Chains A and B, each alone.
Chain A
Amino acid sequence: MSWITVVWSMNGAACLTLAAFYFVLWCNQRKSWMHLAFSGSAVAGAALTGFELALLRAQTTEQYGAILRWAQLPVWGLVVSLVVFVRLYLRAGRPWLAWTVCCVRTLALILNFLFIPNLSYREITSLRQVSWWGGETVSVPVGVTNPWILVAQLSSLLLIVFLIDATITVWRQGDRKRALRVGGGLSLFSLIAVGQALLVVWGIIQVPFLVCFALLGLLAVMGYELCSDVFRAAQLARELEASDKRLNLAADSADVGLWEWDIVRNEIWITDRGRSLFGFAASEKLDFDRFRSRLHPEDRESVLNEVENSLRTGAEYRSEYRVVLPNGQLRWIAGRGHVECNGDGQPVRMRGASLDITKRKQAEEQLRMSETTLHESKEHIDLATKAAGLVVWTWDIPRDEVWLSSKDRALFGFSQGEKLTAERIQSVVHPEDRQLVHQLSEDALRTGREIENQYRVLLHDGRIRWVTRLGRVEFDADGKPLRERGVLMDISERKQAELEAARQRHDLAHLARVTTLGELSSSLAHELTHPITAILSNAQAAQRFLDGDDVDLKEVSEIVNDIVIEDERAGEVIYRLRSLLKKGEPQKYCDVDLNEVVQHVLKLVRNDFINQNVTAETDLAQNLPSVIGDRVQLQQVLLNLVLNSCEAMTDCASAERQLLIASKLEKTAVQVSVTDRGGGIPEKKIEQVFERFFTTKKEGIGLGLSICRSIIDAHAGKIWATNNADCGATFYFILPINRQEERQ
C-alpha cells in the first residue's frame, strides 16, 4: 500500500479517535459543551483529511473540482467549532468577531456551492502529476483562481485575528501558560493551514493541499488541554474522595454520624458510625420513618417540630433527644443539620451530623444529682443541728472574727451586727471554766489537735447550760492557723444524769464508809483515848502541883502546853473520822498525793493492826506525782483493801500477819498495791470479787469492793486482784496522774 494512503489514513483515524473519545465524554457530561465542540472539530479534521487524500489521488479536473467543493463543508464545520471551543474553553475572544468569522465562513460556503467547479477556482485547467518520495505521484491542480475565494480567506484571517485577540486576553488575565499553549498553538497551526491553502489556491506554490497535518496539530493542542482537564478532574475526584474519607474518619473518631436525607425520594444516607449510633443494621435501607421510629416517645414531637421548622424556614436544625436502641438501651443524641433547596426554594436535601452525648448528659445528670444531694445534705445538717440543738461556728483566725448563725447569736445574747471576736465569745463561758477553755484553745492552735471538752456557758436569759465543744483548726500551707470550725452541743441533760449517777455513787460510797467505820469504831475510839488520857492526867497533875505549897510554874506551863498539843491530837483524830463520815460534795476533785492517803489510812487502822497483831510495812515511791480525785473516796478504797487484807489473815499465825502497802509510778499512772499473807482468793472467784453482793465474809454484805471499783472507775482508773506466788493475795489500783502537773 502506498505510504501516502497510510499516513493520511492514520491522520484521519487519529482525528476520528479523538472525536469519538470526546463525544463519549460529552455524553457523560452534557453540560461540558466544549467537549462536543472539540469532538466536532475532530470530525471535521477527519473529513478534511479524507478529502485531502481524495484530492491527492484525483485523476480528472472535474473530479478534483467536485472534491474541493465538498471539502468546504468540513472547513466550515472546523472553523465554527473552533470558534465555539475557544469561546467556551478560554472564555475569551470578542463575540462580535466570533459571529463575524462564522457568518463570513457561512457566506463563503454558500458562495462555494454557487460557483462551478468551486469557490477556489473559476476553472481547473489541468492536473499536474508531481512525483513524491518513494515513487509516489500526487495531483496538483492548475487553473484560474476564483476571486470570490477572498471571502473565504477573509473568514480565515478574521479567525486568526479572533484567536490572537483571545490569546492576548488570556495572557493579560495572567494565565500566561494557557494563553501561550492554547491561544498560541491554535493561532500558529491555523496560520500554517490557512497560509498553505492560500499559497496553493493562488498558484504561488505548485504543491497539493497539505492542511490536514496542521489540523492534527490544532487538534493535538486542543486535545492536550482537554486531556489535562480530565486528569485534573480525576485528581480532584481522588482528592475529594480522600478528604471525604478524612472527614468520615474525623467524624467517626468524634463519634459523629454524618447523614444526608434526600427529601424528594425520602432516602437517608448515613455513615456506618451513624448507623451504629441509631442502632441501624449496616445494609438496612433507611427513610425518615425508620429514623422517627428510633426516637424516644417523649422526645419525638420536639424533634419533628424542629425538622419541620427547619424545612419551612431554612433555619439550622438543632435538637437534643433520646433514641431507644433495639436492645432497649437509651442514648442521648445531639443533631445538627441544614436544608438545601432547589431553584424554586423547595427543600430537596438535608445534611447534618449526629453526636452521641449520652456521657455528657449523664455527667450533667450526675452534677444535677450531686447538687441536689449537696443541697439535701445541707438541709439535713440544718435539720440535724436544729434537732440536736447544735451551735455551729467558724472562727476566722487572722481576722479574729467568729461566724455564728443569727439564731445562735440570739441564744447567747449577741446583737446581729456585732463583730464577734474570740474574746467576746469566751465571755459567755462560765467564769470557772474560762481558764480551761482558753488553755485548750491555745493548745489546739499550737498542736493542731482536735479539741473536745465540756464546759458551762451562760445564755442571755441567765440560764447556765453544759455544752460539749468539738473544734478543729485548719492551717494554711505555711502552718499558720487559718480558721477553726466547731460545734457546740447542749449536754445539760446528760450532764445532769451524770451528776445524778455520781451523786448516787457518792451516797452509796458514803454508806459503805459509815459501815466500815462502824466496824472500826472500837479501835478508833481507842485512838481517841490516848490524847484524852494524856490530857486528863496532865490536867490532874497540874491541879496537884498548884495545890502544893511550892508551885513550880515552869512545870505547870509545860503541862498546859502538852494539854494543848494533846487536844489538837484528839481534834485530828476526830477530824479524820469526820472527814470519812461526812458526805461532802460529789466530784469535788483536787490534787491528791496517794502516799498521803496511805499514811492517813495507816493511822486510822493502827489500833486494829495492834489488836489483830498485824504488822504493816510500806514501800512508797518518793516524789510521786499527784492524781486528780476525791481524797476521801480514795482513802475509802485503800481502807477497804487494808481491812479486807487484815481480815484475810485472822486465821494465820501472829508472826505471819504481815501487810505490805506499796506505791509506784507506772508510766503515766500511779499504782498502789496492798499485799497480805492470808489464804488468797479462790482462782475461780478472782474475777468476781469486785462484783456487787459478792462476799466471803459471814457478816459482809458484799458492797465494799464493788464500791471500790465504782470509785476507781469514776477516777478513770483500774482496780484488780491477783494471788501471790507463795501465799495471800495482792489488790492493786492504778490512777492516771495529773497531766497538768506533768507539763509543769
Chain B
Amino acid sequence: MPPSPNPTVFVVDDDAPVQKAVSRLLRSAGFAVAVFASPREFLAQYDPRMPGCLVLDLAMPGFNGLQLQTTLGEKGCTLPIIFLTGHGDVSKSVQAMKRGAFDFLIKPVNAKSLLPAIHAAIEKDAVTRREHAKLSEICARLDTLTTRERKVLEHVVAGKLNRQIASELGVTEATIKVHRAHVMAKMKVEAIADLVRLAELCGIRESSE
C-alpha cells in the first residue's frame, strides 16, 4: 500500500516566518512540504491527485481559510484540512468542522499535537484515496457490461430469480443464465453476494421496471 507519489503537507499561511517555521518542523518529521502564502496561490498550483493534507491558517486578509475550504469542497477535493488559528474563535471553528475539517489546532501549535494530526490526516487521505481507487476499478468493470448485461445485473441485485428476469425481459431463462455468467466474469466475482456488494458500492439499484 505505499502511496504513490509520496504524500505532501501543503502549508498555507500569510505570515512568512510562521510558514517557514512550520514547514521546517514538518520536514524534520520527514514530511514533504509545499508552502503557499495565500489560498489563491494554493488553488492555482494544487493538483488534486497529489496526496497529503492541508495545514491552513484560518484568518488571512482577503480570501481566507474558510473560503478556501468551501471552494475545495465544491470541487470535490477530499484533501483533509487541519486548521490553525490564533485564537479559539468558536463560531468559526464550528463552521469549519461542520464543513468537514479534519482538525482544528490553536497557535502556537505544539509539534506533539500537530505531527500526529498530520500523520492521521495523511493516513485518512491515503484510505480515502484507496477506497476511491477501488471504486474506480469496480466502476470500470461495470462500464464493460453491455446494456442487456447491465439490465440483468440490476435485476440480479434486486434479488430476482432467472425465470422472473427472463419473463420480464421477454427472453428465455437460458439466455439470462448466459448473461449472468458474463456479468459475473466481467465483474470478477464468484458469488452473487459479492456482485450485490459491488453493485451497491457503485450505487446500482434494482430495476424498477
Residue B87 is within 8 A (CB to CB) of chain A in the complex: yes
Residue A531 is within 8 A (CB to CB) of chain B in the complex: yes
Residue B153 is within 8 A (CB to CB) of chain A in the complex: no
> In the complex, which residues of chain A have a beta carbon less than 8 angstroms from the beta carbon of B15?
530, 534
Q: Are A526 and B21 in contact (CB under 8 A)?
A: no
Contact partner of B17 (CB less than 8 A), chosen from A544, A548, A565, A611, is A565
Cα–Cα, bound, A525→B21 (Å): 19
Q: Are A562 and B86 in contact (CB under 8 A)?
A: no
Residue A559 is within 8 A (CB to CB) of chain B in the complex: yes
Residue B148 is within 8 A (CB to CB) of chain A in the complex: no
Kindly name the residue among A535, A538, A545 whose own CB sees the greatest number of chain B CB atoms within 10 A.
Answer: A538
Residue A411 is within 8 A (CB to CB) of chain B in the complex: no
> In the complex, which residues of chain B have a beta carbon less than 8 angstroms from the beta carbon of A545?
28
* Given known A525-B86, A559-B24, contact A533–B29 (CB-CB < 8 A): no
Kindly name the residue among A533, A535, A548, A615 whose own CB sees the greatest number of chain B CB atoms within 10 A.
Answer: A533
Of residues 19 through 61 on chain B, the ones whose CB sits less than 8 Å from some CB of chain A are 20-22, 24-25, 27-29, 59-61
Among the listed stretches B107-115, B121-129, B157-165, B172-180, which one makes contact with chain A, having 4 or more residues with CB under 8 Å of it?
B107-115
Min Cβ gap A528→B in Å is 9
Q: Are B109 and A536 in contact (CB under 8 A)?
A: yes
Cα–Cα, bound, A11→B64 (Å): 165
> In the complex, which residues of chain A have a beta carbon less than 8 angstroms from the beta carbon of B135?
none
* Given known A529-B108, A530-B15, A532-B107, contact A522–B87 (CB-CB < 8 A): yes
Min Cβ gap B110→A in Å is 7
Min Cβ gap A381→B in Å is 70
> In the complex, which residues of chain A have a beta carbon less than 8 angstroms from the beta carbon of B17?
530-531, 534, 562, 565-566, 569
Min Cβ gap B208→A in Å is 48
Question: Interface size (A, Cβ < 8 Å)?
Answer: 30
Contact partner of A529 (CB less than 8 A), chosen from B21, B107, B111, is B107
Min Cβ gap B10→A in Å is 16
Cα–Cα, bound, A371→B100 (Å): 103
Q: Are B111 and A544 in contact (CB under 8 A)?
A: yes
Q: Are B87 and A529 in contact (CB under 8 A)?
A: yes
Residue B94 is within 8 A (CB to CB) of chain A in the complex: no
> In the complex, which residues of chain B have a beta carbon less than 8 angstroms from the beta carbon of A540?
25, 28, 110-111
Q: Are A562 and B60 in contact (CB under 8 A)?
A: no
Of residues 102 through 143 on chain B, the ones whose CB sits less than 8 Å from some CB of chain A are 107-111
Residue A541 is within 8 A (CB to CB) of chain B in the complex: yes
> In the complex, which residues of chain A have a beta carbon less than 8 angstroms from the beta carbon of B97?
none
Residue B72 is within 8 A (CB to CB) of chain A in the complex: no
Bits for A529-566, please: 1 = Cβ < 8 Å to B, else 0: 11111111110111011001000000100010010011
Q: Are A610 and B18 in contact (CB under 8 A)?
A: no
Min Cβ gap A611→B in Å is 7
Residue A358 is within 8 A (CB to CB) of chain B in the complex: no
Contact partner of B59 (CB less than 8 A), chosen from A526, A544, A548, is A526
* Given known A522-B87, A525-B87, contact A533–B107 (CB-CB < 8 A): yes
> In the complex, which residues of chain A have a beta carbon less than 8 angstroms from the beta carbon of B28?
540-542, 544-545, 548
Chain A interface main SS type: helix
Contact partner of B25 (CB less than 8 A), chosen from A531, A541, A548, A565, is A541
Min Cβ gap B195→A in Å is 50
Cα–Cα, bound, A565→B16 (Å): 12
> In the complex, which residues of chain B have a beta carbon less than 8 angstroms from the beta carbon of A607?
59, 86
Min Cβ gap A534→B in Å is 4
Residue A609 is within 8 A (CB to CB) of chain B in the complex: yes
Cα–Cα, bound, A131→B29 (Å): 202
> In the complex, which residues of chain A have a beta carbon less than 8 angstroms from the beta carbon of B62?
615
Closest residue of chain B to A526 (Cβ to Cβ) is: B86
* Given known A532-B107, A610-B59, contact A537–B86 (CB-CB < 8 A): no
Cα–Cα, bound, A14→B198 (Å): 200
Q: Are B60 and A610 in contact (CB under 8 A)?
A: yes
Q: Are B87 and A526 in contact (CB under 8 A)?
A: yes
Q: Are A538 and B107 in contact (CB under 8 A)?
A: no
> In the complex, which residues of chain B have a beta carbon less than 8 angstroms from the beta carbon of A526?
59, 86-87
> In the complex, which residues of chain B have a beta carbon less than 8 angstroms from the beta carbon of A562?
17, 20-21
Cα–Cα, bound, A534→B108 (Å): 8
Q: Are A529 and B86 in contact (CB under 8 A)?
A: yes
Cα–Cα, bound, A611→B66 (Å): 12
Q: Are B111 and A537 in contact (CB under 8 A)?
A: yes
Cα–Cα, bound, A532→B107 (Å): 8
Min Cβ gap A84→B in Å is 153
> In the complex, which residues of chain A have a beta carbon less than 8 angstroms from the beta carbon of B22?
533-534, 537
Cα–Cα, bound, A541→B115 (Å): 11
Cα–Cα, bound, A575→B184 (Å): 75
Cα–Cα, bound, A559→B27 (Å): 13
* Given known A534-B21, A566-B17, contact A615–B61 (CB-CB < 8 A): yes
Q: Are B59 and A538 in contact (CB under 8 A)?
A: no
> In the complex, which residues of chain B have a beta carbon less than 8 angstroms from the beta carbon of A537?
18, 21-22, 24-25, 108-109, 111
Min Cβ gap B18→A in Å is 5
Min Cβ gap B22→A in Å is 5
Kindly name the residue among A540, A544, A555, A559 whose own CB sees the greatest number of chain B CB atoms within 10 A.
Answer: A540
Contact partner of B109 (CB less than 8 A), chosen from A531, A533, A565, is A533
> In the complex, which residues of chain A have a beta carbon less than 8 angstroms from the beta carbon of B108?
529, 532-533, 535-537
Bits for A610-624, please: 1 = Cβ < 8 Å to B, else 0: 110001000000000
Kindly name the residue among A534, A537, A538, A565 whose own CB sees the greatest number of chain B CB atoms within 10 A.
Answer: A537
Cα–Cα, bound, A569→B21 (Å): 14
Cα–Cα, bound, A604→B108 (Å): 19
Min Cβ gap A603→B in Å is 13
Q: Are B20 and A534 in contact (CB under 8 A)?
A: yes
Min Cβ gap A355→B in Å is 104
Q: Are A534 and B111 in contact (CB under 8 A)?
A: no
Min Cβ gap B59→A in Å is 5
> In the complex, which residues of chain A have a beta carbon less than 8 angstroms from the beta carbon of B107?
529-530, 532-533
Q: Are B21 and A533 in contact (CB under 8 A)?
A: yes
Closest residue of chain B to A555 (Cβ to Cβ) is: B24
Min Cβ gap A554→B in Å is 13
Min Cβ gap A142→B in Å is 183
Of residues 291 through 316 on chain A, the ones whose CB sits less than 8 Å from some CB of chain B are none
Closest residue of chain B to A606 (Cβ to Cβ) is: B61
Cα–Cα, bound, A544→B18 (Å): 17
Q: Are A544 and B21 in contact (CB under 8 A)?
A: no
> In the complex, which residues of chain B have a beta carbon less than 8 angstroms from the beta carbon of A530?
15, 17-18, 86, 107
Bits for A509-527, please: 1 = Cβ < 8 Å to B, else 0: 0000000000000100110
Closest residue of chain B to A538 (Cβ to Cβ) is: B21
A-B contact pairs, 5 of them (CB 8 A): A536-B111, A537-B109, A537-B111, A538-B25, A607-B59
A530-B107, A536-B109, A538-B21 given. 9 additional CB < 8 A pairs?
Answer: A522-B87, A532-B107, A533-B107, A537-B18, A541-B24, A541-B27, A565-B17, A607-B86, A610-B64
| Shortest beta-carbon contacts, A-B, top 4 | A526-B86, A544-B28, A537-B21, A540-B111
